[in-house]
Each structure stands twice: as structure tokens, then as C-alpha cells.
């Protein structure tokens, strides 16, 4: 489609935004959820329409993945395995309906749980899948040993475990990028912070995996994206992407937070990838 047609479709806010930031428009968001995770609202079509109005060329849903847990365990913040087919068929229909206006991708946000990972990959491949992003919300395997990562802590061992598991996940080669890499809000020694998060950034650099500046963190004023983390990432030459982490249709293309993320990129001399390449999802690792 011609770009003039596309700009006719963009909202006033998006046009104003483009005028003030002609250099780096937001063209791609690969981080968005659906109601199936039990903590997001809106229809998928509303997300897609907002993405188009915001000026995105590529838009990916990456809802919290189903997991092949034992049947007696109920994981409340993700879709159930039996909802996967509806998720994919809905997105395939929207891809077709809006094919001339936006490139719609089908993905998942996935924790790396070593015990379940290969079974999970088989589960995801039951239906078409374009990419997965790593969002390490829990340590270990969630079941039977769940520990939430996004806490404030001064415990060096906790950060160490978070970084080690994040790196193990990246090393599978399955993930397109690492979402909110700074989810663990470490408030202890600055030396430990640099040592451990430096290890994570080094791992991402070696594997060529971009780190996400998470716009939900900016919108909701969470501890992430963490200044010290991205300062270090800039010093180490890391590549970054920006993810809206939309849990509501109006956040499918969150230009207000995007602008703040761009300022961060500028301030810390980060290498920004406006449209990261998608890594194919392997059948097993």
C-alpha cells in the first residue's frame, strides 16, 4: 500500500508525534496481550485498529503462553492450552482482514522453564507461530516451585538466579528478544548489580539478542525500565527494542511512553532496532 494512504489512516496524535520525531517513528510492536491471560482487556481487532492508527507497519500479539503443566495446576496469568487454537485462528482471520494495512504476527511471551521447554515448543507448533519473546516472570519451573522475579530485593543470590535462568533461556536460541530484562528490582550493592546484570547484557550481546525497553513499566511507573540497567547496557553496546506490552487496546501503540523510551535510548547511547528480525521458533532445543 502507498504511504499516503497509510498516513490518512493515522490518528492526529500519531501525526503530531511523527512531526515532532521525524527520525525514528514507531513502526513495530511485538509485545501485546489478549483477554485470554485473564489480566488484559479489549478485543484483538481493537488492538489491531489502534496499531494501524498509531502508524505501526508490523504488529505482533505475544500473549502469555499456554504451558504443558500437570492438569492439577492452575496457572492464572496465561491462556490455557485449550484456548490456543482460538487465539491463533482469531489472529489468522485478522491477518487476512487487515493484510493491506499491517503485517500481523503471531507470537507468545514465554518463560524459560527448563523442565517444560521442549514440551512447550511442541505445544506451540500445533498451530502456526511466527516468534516467541522471553519474559521471565518466574524462576525455576513455576510448578511446583514458583518464585516471582519482579520483586524488590537486596539478595545477591536472587539476582544471580534470575540472571542465570534468563541467560539459559537466551542460549536456547528460540527467542526473538528478552522482554523486561531488568524485571528483578535489585536494590543491593551497586557492584553486584553491575556484575550480575553485566553478565546478562554480555550474554545477550554474544547471542545477538536485543533487550527490551518495556513501555508497560513506563506507563505504570514500575521500577523497570531501570536507569542503571540501561546505562550499563549502553556502555556495553547492547541492542535494544521497544515493546508496548499492551494489556489494553489503547496501548497497542503507546506513543507517549515510546517517546520517553527514545529519550532513554538517546541518553544512554543504546543501539535501537526499530524492527527486530524474528527468530524462527525451533521444534526442540
List of residues contacting Zn ion (CB under 5 A): 109, 245
Cell of 55: 502508524
Distance in angstroms (rounded) separating the CA atoms of residues 179 and 170? 11
Q: Which is nearer to Zn ion, 193 or 257 (CB)?
A: 257
Nearest distance in Å: CB 180, Zn ion: 8
Q: Which is nearer to Zn ion, 150 or 198 (CB)?
A: 150
Q: Which is nearer to Zn ion, 136 or 234 (CB)?
A: 136
Helices within the chain (DSSP H only)? 3-9, 12-20, 44-54, 84-97, 117-124, 156-171, 190-207, 215-219, 227-235, 255-267
Nearest distance in Å: CB 163, Zn ion: 20
Q: Which is nearer to Zn ion, 81 or 188 (CB)?
A: 81
Nearest distance in Å: CB 105, Zn ion: 15
Residues in the chain, total? 285
Distance in angstroms (rounded) separating the CA atoms of residues 119 and 114? 10
Nearest distance in Å: CB 247, Zn ion: 6
SS3 50: helix
Distance in angstroms (rounded) separating the CA atoms of residues 143 and 131? 24
Nearest distance in Å: CB 64, Zn ion: 6
Q: Which is nearer to Zn ion, 196 or 245 (CB)?
A: 245
Q: Which is nearer to Zn ion, 109 or 182 (CB)?
A: 109
Distance in angstroms (rounded) separating the CA atoms of residues 158 and 40? 29
Residue 258, number of CB atoms within 10 A of its CB: 22
Q: Which is nearer to Zn ion, 54 or 243 (CB)?
A: 243
Q: Which is nearer to Zn ion, 25 or 60 (CB)?
A: 60
Residue 257 CA: distances (Å) to CA of 26, 28, 162, 164, 242:
11, 14, 26, 29, 10
Nearest distance in Å: CB 245, Zn ion: 4
HSE at residue 18, side-chain half, CA atoms within 13 A, is 16
Q: At what angle do helices 84-97 and 44-54 cross, to 10 degrees?
A: 40
Nearest distance in Å: CB 62, Zn ion: 7
DSSP assignment, residue 101?
T
Q: Point out the residue whose Cβ comes nearest to Zn ion.
A: 245
DSSP assignment, residue 32?
B
Nearest distance in Å: CB 41, Zn ion: 12
Amino acid at each position: 500500500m502507498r504511504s499516503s494512504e497509510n498516513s490518512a489512516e493515522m490518528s492526529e496524535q500519531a501525526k503530531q508525534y511523527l512531526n515532532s520525531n521525524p527520525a525514528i517513528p514507531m513502526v513495530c510492536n511485538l509485545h501485546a496481550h489478549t483477554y485470554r491471560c485473564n489480566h488484559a482487556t479489549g478485543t484483538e481487532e481493537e488492538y489491531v485498529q489502534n496499531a494501524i492508527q498509531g502508524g505501526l507497519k508490523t504488529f505482533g500479539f505475544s500473549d502469555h503462553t499456554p504451558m504443558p503443566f500437570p492438569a492439577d495446576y492452575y496457572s492464572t496469568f496465561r491462556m490455557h492450552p485449550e484456548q490456543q487454537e482460538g487465539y491463533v485462528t482469531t489472529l489468522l482471520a485478522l491477518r487476512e482482514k487487515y493484510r493491506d494495512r499491517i503485517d500481523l504476527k503471531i507470537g507468545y511471551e514465554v518463560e524459560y522453564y527448563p523442565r517444560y521447554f521442549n514440551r512447550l515448543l511442541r505445544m506451540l507448533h500445533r498451530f502456526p507461530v511466527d516468534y516467541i519473546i522471553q519474559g521471565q516472570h518466574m524462576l525455576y519451573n513455576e510448578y511446583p516451585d514458583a518464585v516471582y522475579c519482579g520483586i524488590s530485593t537486596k539478595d545477591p543470590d536472587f539476582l544471580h538466579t534470575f540472571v542465570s535462568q534468563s541467560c539459559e533461556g537466551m542460549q536456547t536460541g528460540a527467542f526473538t528478544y528478552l522482554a523486561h530484562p531488568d524485571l528483578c528490582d535489585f536494590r543491593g550493592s551497586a557492584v553486584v548489580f553491575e556484575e550480575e546484570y553485566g553478565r546478562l547484557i554480555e550474554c545477550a550481546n554474544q547471542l545477538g539478542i536485543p533487550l527490551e525497553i518495556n513501555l508497560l513499566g513506563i506507563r505504570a511507573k514500575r521500577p523497570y525500565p531501570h536507569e542503571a540497567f540501561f546505562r550499563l547496557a549502553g556502555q556495553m553496546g547492547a541492542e535494544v527494542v521497544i515493546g508496548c506490552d499492551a494489556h489494553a487496546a489503547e496501548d497497542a501503540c503507546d506513543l507517549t511512553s515510546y517517546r520517553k523510551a527514545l529519550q532513554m535510548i538517546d541518553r544512554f547511547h543504546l543501539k535501537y532496532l526499530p524492527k527486530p528480525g524474528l527468530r524462527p521458533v525451533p521444534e526442540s532445543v
